[in-house]
Amino acid sequence: MAAQPDPVNGFLDDLLQRLQDTFRAFLCAHATIELGGGILDSIRDNVAIGAVVGLNIAIEPIPLAELKQYKASFPGVLLEVFHGKVVQTWKECLSKIFAHYVSLHLNGTRRFEELKSTDVRLDFRSDVSIDEQIRNSLVDDFDFKRYADQQKLIDGLRNPNDLYPNHLTNVHKNVLMRNALQHKGGRVDQFFLNSLGVNQIEVLGQDAQPIPLGDGDRVTLSIPEFDSFRRSTLMVCQAWRS
């Protein structure tokens, strides 16, 4: 009897497709901004423009000089948005993999001994089955764990030979960078560094050269860094395939 395909491989395939689609969408959006910036530069500063941005919502005429002031910030905002989308997609995949191993344990297919002991919340008034409540409780708890603990658990399950540790660290760094940008004013802090076990990190600049950052330094994303994150994610997925 042929072995059944591993559902985790399907999760990883879906992740890779979404990652590639997101990165391609970013490149297209970035090219659009670059082309639009060239058009802005070709128009005199004293020209005013207006635009309809939604149903019955229009922007009052704005001098081109004012728009040009913000032009330099557009690529950075775009990077943060798409970088954040990739991080979110990656974390959703970790949660799916975890839920799969919980289900294997509950249906008696494979014991999830790596999880060791943990608490679960049950509501005996609910019509939801006990097994489903246990599964949901464990997955919810996993989603609120520190990212370092999530990654360590899943990597131990899928990568017993510890392949590509540098790529795994790079993914971890980028998750922390996203958290810093969203929740910490874009600055590296001691928690960030302690999570990686380092005194400073290196982030690729627009020229693809590494820039050292320490406690209190501001994170700045670049296209080379985003691409490095994408490539590391591909390598980790390769290590996690069965």
Looking from the CA of 216 toward its CB, the CA atoms found within 13 Å total: 0
Per-residue confidence band for 127, with pLDDT thresholds at 50, 70 and 90: very high
Percent of the chain with pLDDT over 90: 75
Q: Per-residue pLDDT tens for 56-91?
A: 665 667 665 666 655 566 778 899 999 999 999 999
Instruction: Please give the Cα distance from 160 to 238 (Å, whole number).
Output: 13
Per-residue pLDDT, 4: 78
Q: What number of CA atoms fall less than 13 Å from residue 134's CA on the CB side?
A: 12
Question: Which pLDDT score, from 0 to 100, does residue 33 have?
Answer: 79
Q: Is the pLDDT of residue 20 over 80?
A: yes
pLDDT at 9: 97
Domain spans in the chain, listed from the N-terminal domain onward: 7-41+73-114+145-240
- Cβ atoms 59, 53 nearer than 8 A: yes
Residue 48 has pLDDT above 70, yes or no: no
Structure tokens at 145: 């764990």
pLDDT at residue 28, rounded to an integer:
87
Burial class (CB in 10 A: 0-12, 13-18, 19+), 38: exposed
The pLDDT value given to residue 138: 96
For the CA atoms of 222, 209, 215, 191, what is the dihedral angle to 10 degrees?
70
Task: Read off the DSSP letter of residue 45.
Answer: T
CA 9 to chain centre: 19
pLDDT of residue 43: 66
E strand residue ranges, the chain = 48-54, 57-63, 201-204, 210-213
The C-alpha atoms of residue 184 and residue 176 are separated, in whole angstroms, by 10
User: Higher confidence at residue 173 or residue 75?
Assistant: 173
Q: What is the pLDDT of residue 65?
A: 64
